[in-house]
Amino acid sequence: MNSHEGFRSTSVCRALLFLTVSSPLWLGFTGATPMVMFAIAVGVTLLFLRWDSRPPAELGLDLSWRRTGELIAGFGGGALLIGSVALGTWFLLPFPWTVNRGFEPAVAAWSLLWLLLGNAAEELIFRGYSFERLIVAIGVWKAQLFTALLFAVFHVMNGWPWQMALVGPILGSILFGLVFIRWRSVPAAVGVHVAGNWVRDLLLIDPPTASTAFAPLAPRPWTIGEQISAMAIFVVLVVLVCCGLWLSVRSRSARSLEPGVTPG
């Protein structure tokens, strides 16, 4: 085995070991709160980076204004995406949209904090150390496929039916993975993930919850066709965003190979 093959083998082994060590969290065996999950995920990630003799900046985990900006920018992008899904749903489906009288801003704010911690833990586990090591070892799209399927299993273990886990979480995983690849930043992926979940709850939940401010209030159950139409809007928009991100990744990689250009 040459040195390159040995490096790839080591990267795969460490990625799988990381997922094994953190498996009580993503398989739901601990029942830990998002705060505890986040703290453990951060600790395990930093330990593995130290094992590699690499700094936290390798995953965008250095404390800086730049990383805060990436988190905020990711949140804005995720909010814009789900806002566009809501707009498409409003345009194509025949339901009246109205303000939810049961909306409670304090509950929505608490939900945002809960999602920030919980989704950050998920991103550290699925689009952090293990994902980066798998990319190095087996390439971007094999790493994407493996991680997306694992992310779907995680959602099934947390109560999602398989048919839903094979659409939303897999597409979401690919999207979050591309955000990480483009900016080499877990905080950027966290921002998109949190915004996607929070704005969905804010605008697209029917029947509404206390975290829903404005939503389609159907006077009857949604038909299968209406459910498929709403899902199709989500799928098309996410796929378009993923294609744009991938083109940006390819363009950035090509520029970095030009003479006199230093990768950013």
Q: Which tens digit of pLDDT belongs to each residue from 131-142?
A: 999 999 999 999
Q: Report phi then psi at 215, rounded to 5.
A: -160, 165
Contact by Cβ (8 Å): 201, 211: yes
- Segment 221-250 mean pLDDT: 92
pTM over 0.85: yes
- Beta strands per DSSP E along 117-259: 214-216
pLDDT digits (tens, 9 = 90+) for 100-143: 889 999 999 999 999 999 999 999 999 999 999 999 999 999 99
Domain layout of the chain by residue ranges = 3-256
| Best-predicted range by mean pLDDT (1-5, 92-96, 157-161, 185-189) | 185-189
**The pairing of beta strand 214-216 with beta strand 97-99:** antiparallel
Q: Are 229 and 240 in contact (CB under 8 A)?
A: no
Q: Give the distance, in angstroms, between the CA of residue 57 and the centroid of all CA atoms in the same chain.
A: 19
